[in-house]
């Protein structure tokens, strides 16, 4: 009895496999910096590191001006807010693909230690915001003697 499945040449099966592989690659290749949280919103990627003396936060904010970035510190959190504005489109220019994201963003990062907010240093160079936040020295623990009567 002949098979009900039509014969496919090996090259057709291989072509189909490559298309499926490409589909999965595109699905999993997103990065948080391109992640849209809603219409016109995006979220920059952030690195958080710590040394013995300070906590360092680096945020990728390409194409932004320092005046368009707002940093605030509350307790054990730092919040970075801003807006990346869309460049003017040239008249007569037809876009076939737009992947760059624009709009407002807000990113709040939980800090692993207490910092001194008055001594935070912020620099912005080549699209990367760097926050260096000195840690507050931990209070020494003093053992309390319990007396008995």
Domain boundaries, the chain: 33-87+100-134
Res. 55 pLDDT band, cuts 50 70 90 = very high
pLDDT value at residue 34: 45
Q: Provide the whole-model pTM.
A: 0.62
Q: Which of 64, 68, 60 minimizes the C-alpha distance to 43?
A: 60
* Answer CATH for 33-87+100-134 from 3.30.450.20, 3.90.245.10, 2.60.40.790, 1.20.1290.10: 2.60.40.790
Tell me the CA distances in angstroms from 35 to 21, 23, 83, 89, 99, one per residue in order: 22, 18, 15, 23, 11
Instruction: Please provide the DSSP assignment of 68-128 as one string.
Output: GEEEEEETTEEEEEEEEPPPPPPTTPPPS------EEEEEEEE-SS-B-GGG-EEEEETTE
Average pLDDT over residues 34-56: 76
Q: What is the mean pLDDT of the chain?
A: 80
pLDDT value at residue 37: 47
Query: 10-22 pLDDT, tens per residue?
Result: 677 788 888 887 7
Res. 39 pLDDT band, cuts 50 70 90 = very low
Query: 109-145 pLDDT, tens per residue?
Result: 999 989 999 999 999 999 999 999 999 876 566 788 8
pLDDT value at residue 90: 64
């Amino acid at each position: 009895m002949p098979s009900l499945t039509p014969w496919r040449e090996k090259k057709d099966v291989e072509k189909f496999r490559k298309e499926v592989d490409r589909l999965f690659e595109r699905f999993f290749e997103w990065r948080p910096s391109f992640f849209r949280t809603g219409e016109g919103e995006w979220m920059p990627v952030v690195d958080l590191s710590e040394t013995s003396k300070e906590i360092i936060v680096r945020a990728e904010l390409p194409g932004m001006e320092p005046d368009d970035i707002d940093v605030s510190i509350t307790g054990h959190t730092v919040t970075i807010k801003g807006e990346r504005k869309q460049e003017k489109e040239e008249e007569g220019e037809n876009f076939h693909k737009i992947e760059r994201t624009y709009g407002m963003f807000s990113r709040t990062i939980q800090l692993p230690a207490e910092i001194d907010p008055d001594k935070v240093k912020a620099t912005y160079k080549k699209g990367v915001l760097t926050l260096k936040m000195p840690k507050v020295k931990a209070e020494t623990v003093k053992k309390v003697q319990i007396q008995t009567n």
